[in-house]
A and B are shown apart, each in its own frame.
Chain A
Amino acid sequence: MVPLSYYIILSAIVFITGVVGVLIRRNIIIILLSIELMLNATNINFVAFSSYFQNVVGQVFVFFTLTVAAAEVAVGLAIIIALYRSKTTINVDEFQLLKW
């Protein structure tokens, strides 16, 4: 049986990879993919704890995370398409209308 701490370390590594991806990339699509990475890291944690405590509630919450991820992708990609129409680029540095 694999110890629970291994799963936590794995999910921490994946989550931090997602955070760094959001910070260092300029392509909005890659930033959304990094957010998917972070959501998957939380899902791994949920399922590992659910298996550890023999309790299915963790898996139910993965279900809700999945719903939110799907909604986020649909709206996010629609926003990307709208942004691309207005500026014909998806580089985050170009979108600085709200920047002071």
Chain B
Amino acid sequence: MATLVFFYFAGVIVLTSLLVVVLRNPIYSALSLLIMFFHVAGLYVTLRAEFLAAVQIIVYAGAILVLYLFVVMLLNIKREERYHPQFPFGAFLGLTILTEVLLLAYHRSVVNEPASPLSHTARTVPNGQAVATDVAPAAGNTEMIGEVLYSTYLFPFEVASLILLVAMIGAIILAKRDLFEQREG
């Protein structure tokens, strides 16, 4: 059952991510990316990361993608008719890397097949080891993330807020039309 659910989500994710690249109209690309975000959120739920699933939908689908759609509709772009001239090169490179990864993964899975009981023990062991960042899974997902985020990773959290501030100021300065013209004139 879990495998079936995974394959549904994985299939839709791969299909929509291909559509993002292939479709000509940017609006259709953005909408298929929206479907992909929702299915990635579903994948997070099956991995017991419920908080991230909610954040994925709120931030990615609710904020980032709406921003994309705003810009696409603001610019009123004509459909582009052609791919880049380096299309064969890019496709060749992508296919090469894909084959490489798939071969590597297949090889790995064949090699690791007898060692799968070991991986099952490895999954249960970290609860016993008292690592500082390990929180007992008895608490809820959001509580665990909050405890780690506001204790161990407090400094990166503050840096992230600084990044957002810089991005906000930068976006305003770049997109405002007559910020510097007024001062000159």
- The chain A residues found within 8 Å of chain B, CB to CB, are 1-6, 8-10, 12-14, 16-21, 23-27, 29-30, 32-34, 36-37, 40, 43-44, 47-48, 50-57, 59-60, 62-64, 66-75, 77-82, 84-85, 90-93
Contact = CB atoms under 8 A, between A and B. Distances in A.
A68 B163 contact: yes
A71 B164 contact: yes
A37 B87 CA distance: 19
Given A23-B90, A24-B91, A47-B49, A33 B29 contact: yes
Contacts, number: 226
Contacts of A48: 47
Counting contact residues on chain B (CB < 8 A from A), the size range is 35 or more
B14 A10 contact: yes
Nearest to B173: A78
Residue among A37, A53, A59, A73 facing the most chain B CB atoms (10 A cut-off)? A59
Secondary structure dominating the interface of A: helix
A23 B87 CA distance: 7
B130 interface: no
Given A37-B33, A53-B123, A73-B68, A20 B90 contact: yes
